[in-house]
């Protein structure tokens, strides 16, 4: 029995599709050899559909299964290699992002500490918290310890208080404590 037109057409469509794929996406020298093997497998499978004897068909089927098994194993290895490359790239990117985040956090922490120190210095320089006018009490000492142990909490509280002062309309009075004005004409 001859190979049917339907089987020939299916084989041709499959081979044409593989060739178009390799023309468009081929990026390795081994792709041409792999394409030849794939075309040969399709043609060998098609040959098993003609008027061979029962024993010849069994042999042809066994050869086709062998070829498919070999192709599957090569594909499995290629897939594992791609997964390994992707995993290594992911780890590298993750470590870079982790290092960058740690650096940015460290820089931010340093900036907050510097800012808090500057604020404390301005308060001391303004005279509202000078050592001569204010004796250390247990409450002020506890407050200073809290600020030194938890600068981020102190900074956030300070920002919150500034927002409350700004909303209440007493912002000019706070600026006067720091020796600055709003810049309005005749404000001095």
If you ran DSSP here, which 8-state letter would residue 169 be given?
Answer: T
Angle formed at CA 157 by CA 114 and CA 147, multiple of 5 degrees: 55
Q: How far apart are CA 33 and CA 39, in angstroms?
A: 10
C-beta of residue 38 within 8 angstroms of C-beta of residue 18:
yes
Question: How does pLDDT run along the chain (188 residues), one tens digit per residue?
Answer: 577 788 888 889 988 988 888 888 777 766 788 888 888 888 888 887 776 788 888 888 888 888 888 888 888 888 888 899 999 999 999 999 999 998 998 888 888 888 888 888 887 777 654 444 445 566 777 777 778 888 888 888 888 887 887 788 777 777 777 776 555 544 44
**Cβ-defined contacts of 113-117 (< 8 Å, 24+):** 113/151, 115/155, 116/147, 116/151, 116/154, 116/155, 116/158
């Amino acid at each position: 029995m001859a190979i049917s037109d339907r089987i020939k057409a299916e084989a041709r469509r499959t081979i044409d599709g593989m060739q178009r794929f390799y023309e468009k996406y081929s990026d390795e020298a081994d792709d041409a050899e792999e394409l030849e093997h794939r075309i040969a497998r399709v043609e060998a499978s098609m040959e098993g559909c003609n008027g061979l004897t029962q024993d010849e068909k069994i042999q042809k089927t066994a050869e086709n299964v062998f070829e498919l098994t070999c192709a599957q194993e090569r594909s499995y290895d290629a897939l594992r290699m791609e997964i390994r490359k992707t995993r290594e790239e992911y780890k590298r990117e993750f470590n870079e992002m982790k290092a960058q985040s740690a650096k940015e956090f460290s820089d931010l922490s340093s900036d907050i500490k510097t800012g808090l120190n500057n604020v404390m210095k301005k308060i001391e320089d303004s005279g509202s918290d000078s050592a001569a006018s204010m004796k250390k009490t247990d409450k002020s000492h506890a407050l200073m310890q809290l600020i030194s142990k938890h600068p981020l909490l102190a900074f956030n509280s300070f920002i919150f208080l500034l927002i409350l002062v700004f909303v209440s309309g007493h912002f000019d009075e706070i600026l006067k404590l720091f020796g600055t004005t709003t810049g309005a004409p005749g404000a001095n």
